[in-house]
Amino acid sequence: MTTTPLLDRVVYPSDLRTLAKSDLRQLCDELRSEVIDAVSCTGGHLGSGLGVVELTAAIHYVYDTPRDRLIFDVGHQCYPHKVLTGRRERIRTLRQKDGLSGFTKRSESPYDPFGAAHAATSISAALGMAVARDLKGEQDRNSPDDAATGGGAKNDDRRVIAVIGDGSMSAGMAYEAMNNAGDTGGQLTVILNDNEMSIAPPVGAMSAYLARAASSGSYQGFRNLAKQLTKRLPPRLRDMAGKAEEYGRAMVTGGGTLFEELGFYYVGPIDGHNLDHLLPVLENVKNITDRPVLVHVVTQKGKGYQLTVDKGDKLHAVSKFDVISGEEVKKTSNAPSYTGVFAGQLIEEAKKNERIVGITAAMPSGTGIDKFMKEFPDRTFDVGIAEQHAVTFAAGLAAEGMVPFCALYSTFLQRAYDSVVHDVALQNLPVRFAMDRAGLVGNDGATHAGAYDTAYLGCLPNMVLMACGDEAELQAMTRTAAEFDEHPIGFRFPRGEGMGVDMYAPEDVPLLEIGKGRIVAEGTKVCLLNFGGRLGECMKAADLLEARGLSTTVADARFAKPLDEDLIRRLAKEHEVLISVEEGSIGGFGSFVLEFLNRDGLLDAGALKVRTMHLPDIYQDQASPKEMYEEARLQAEHITEQALMAFGQAAAAAGDRA
Ligand SMILES: Cc1ncc(C[n+]2csc(CCOP(=O)(O)OP(=O)(O)O)c2C)c(N)n1
Ligand SMILES: CC(=O)[C@@H](O)[C@H](O)COP(=O)(O)O
Ligand SMILES: [Mg+2]
65 phi, psi to nearest 5 deg: -70, 150
Beta strands in 501-604 (DSSP E): 518-521, 526-531, 552-556, 559-561, 577-582
Residues 488 and 573 both lie in one domain: no
Residues 427 and 522 both lie in one domain: no
Residues 285 and 377 both lie in one domain: no
pLDDT attached to residue 185: 86
Residues 293 and 366 both lie in one domain: no
Ligand nearest to the CA of 214: 3
Secondary element (H or E) of residue 364 = helix 364-367
Q: Is the CB of 444 under 6 A from ligand 2?
A: yes
- Band of pLDDT at residue 138, cut at 50, 70 and 90: low
How far is ligand 2, taken at its centre, from the CA of residue 381, in Å?
19
Predicted confidence (pLDDT) per residue in 589-628, tens digit: 999 999 999 999 999 867 899 999 999 999 999 999 999 9
The yes-or-no verdict on residue 299 having pLDDT over 50 is: yes
In sequence order, which residues have a C-beta less than 8 Å from that of residue 32 and are 6 or more positions away? 50, 53, 80, 303, 304, 305
Residue 328 resides in a domain: no
Q: What distance, in Å, lies between the first and last C-alpha atoms of the chain?
A: 57
The yes-or-no verdict on residue 511 having pLDDT over 70 is: yes
Whole-number Cα distances in Å, 643 to 528, 573, 595: 9, 17, 21
Which of 144-148, 299-303, 305-309 is predicted most confidently? 299-303
Q: What is the interface pTM, i.e. ipTM, of the complex?
A: 0.99
Determine the 3-state secondary structure of 658 from DSSP: coil
pLDDT attached to residue 248: 29
Domain finish residue from 489, 508, 527:
508
Residues 269 and 303 both lie in one domain: yes
480 phi, psi to nearest 5 deg: -60, -45
CATH number at residue 136: 3.40.50.970
Annotated binding residue 305? yes
Residues 14-28, mean pLDDT to the nearest whole number: 98
Q: Is the CB of 207 under 6 A from ligand 1?
A: no
- Give the pairing type, strands 189-194 and 160-165: parallel
Residues 59-80, mean pLDDT to the nearest whole number: 98
Protein residue with least CA distance to atom 25, ligand 1 = 118
Could you give the strand order of the β-sheet that contains 380-382, starting from the edge strand earlier in sequence?
A: 380-382, 356-360, 403-409, 432-436, 489-492, 464-467, 559-561
The yes-or-no verdict on residue 252 having pLDDT over 60 is: no
Residue 468 resides in a domain: yes
- Band of pLDDT at residue 153, cut at 50, 70 and 90: low
Residues 528 and 504 both lie in one domain: no
Domain finish residue from 508, 536, 565:
508
Residues 130-139, mean pLDDT to the nearest whole number: 86
Residue 1 resides in a domain: no
Q: Is the CB of 199 under 6 A from ligand 1?
A: yes
Residues 156 and 239 both lie in one domain: yes
Residues 216 and 285 both lie in one domain: yes
Residues 413-442, mean pLDDT to the nearest whole number: 98
If one counts the domains in the chain, the total is 3
- Give the pairing type, strands 403-409 and 526-531: unpaired
The sign of the torsion formed by the CA atoms of 379, 383, 385, 390 equals negative
Predicted confidence (pLDDT) per residue in 428-449, tens digit: 999 999 999 999 999 999 999 9
- The DSSP code for 52 is T
CATH number at residue 578: 3.40.50.920
How far is ligand 3, taken at its centre, from the CA of residue 53, in Å?
14
Residues 153-164, mean pLDDT to the nearest whole number: 87
pLDDT attached to residue 246: 36
Instruction: Give, for ligand 2, the residue of 448, 497, 628 to mutate: max count of ligand atoms closer than 8 Å to Cβ.
Output: 448
pLDDT attached to residue 124: 98
Residues 635 and 503 both lie in one domain: no
How far is ligand 3, taken at its centre, from the CA of residue 562, in Å?
41
Residue 558 resides in a domain: yes
Ligand nearest to the CA of 77: 1
Residues 481-495, mean pLDDT to the nearest whole number: 98
The sign of the torsion formed by the CA atoms of 25, 31, 34, 38 equals negative
**Cα–Cα distance for residue pair 658/639, rounded to 1 Å:** 15
Residues 413-428, mean pLDDT to the nearest whole number: 98
Determine the 3-state secondary structure of 580 from DSSP: strand
- Band of pLDDT at residue 234, cut at 50, 70 and 90: low
Instruction: Give, for ligand 1, the residue of 46, 168, 170 to mutate: max count of ligand atoms closer than 8 Å to Cβ.
Output: 168
Protein residue with least CA distance to atom 13, ligand 2 = 366
How far is ligand 2, taken at its centre, from the CA of residue 582, in Å?
23
Domain finish residue from 289, 309, 329:
309
Predicted confidence (pLDDT) per residue in 253-296, tens digit: 556 789 999 999 999 999 999 999 999 999 999 999 999 999 99
Residues 42-54, mean pLDDT to the nearest whole number: 97
73 phi, psi to nearest 5 deg: -75, 145
HEC sequence for 418-469:
HHHHHHHHCCCCCCEEEEECCECCCCCHHHHCECCHHHHHHCCCCCEEEECC
Which positions are annotated as active-site residues? Answer: 301, 387, 415
Residues 502 and 578 both lie in one domain: no
> Structural domain of residue 169, as residue ranges?
6-309
Determine the 3-state secondary structure of 328 from DSSP: strand
Ordered alpha helix ranges (H), 52-171: 53-62, 79-82, 122-136
pLDDT attached to residue 251: 38
| Residue of higher predicted confidence among 240 and 420 | 420
Residues 383-401, mean pLDDT to the nearest whole number: 98
Residue 314 resides in a domain: no
Reference 281, options 252, 258, 254; nearest CA is 252
Reference 520, options 560, 479, 552; nearest CA is 552
- The least confident of 259-263, 518-522, 646-650 is 646-650
Protein residue with least CA distance to atom 6, ligand 2 = 444
Residue 139 resides in a domain: yes
The yes-or-no verdict on residue 650 having pLDDT over 80 is: no
Q: Is the CB of 129 under 6 A from ligand 2?
A: no
Residues 189-195, mean pLDDT to the nearest whole number: 98
The yes-or-no verdict on residue 39 having pLDDT over 60 is: yes
pLDDT attached to residue 243: 44
Mean pLDDT of the chain: 91
Residues 384-402, mean pLDDT to the nearest whole number: 98
Closest atom of ligand 2 to 437 CA is 12
Residues 562 and 587 both lie in one domain: yes
The yes-or-no verdict on residue 250 having pLDDT over 60 is: no
Residues 410-426, mean pLDDT to the nearest whole number: 98
Q: Is the CB of 313 under 6 A from ligand 1?
A: no
User: Per-residue b/e over 124-135, b at no fewer than 16 CB within 10 Å?
Assistant: bbbbebbbebee
**Cα–Cα distance for residue pair 163/169, rounded to 1 Å:** 11
Residue 85 resides in a domain: yes
Residue 215 resides in a domain: yes
Residues 134 and 270 both lie in one domain: yes
The yes-or-no verdict on residue 524 having pLDDT over 80 is: yes
Protein residue with least CA distance to atom 23, ligand 1 = 362
CB contact at 8 A, 85 and 60: yes
- The least confident of 7-11, 101-105, 636-640, 644-648 is 644-648
- Band of pLDDT at residue 329, cut at 50, 70 and 90: confident
**Cα–Cα distance for residue pair 118/388, rounded to 1 Å:** 13
- Band of pLDDT at residue 144, cut at 50, 70 and 90: low
- The DSSP code for 525 is S
Predicted confidence (pLDDT) per residue in 313-328, tens digit: 778 999 999 999 988 8
The sign of the torsion formed by the CA atoms of 74, 80, 84, 90 equals positive
Ligand nearest to the CA of 384: 1
pLDDT attached to residue 215: 77
pLDDT attached to residue 226: 60
CB contact at 8 A, 145 and 67: yes
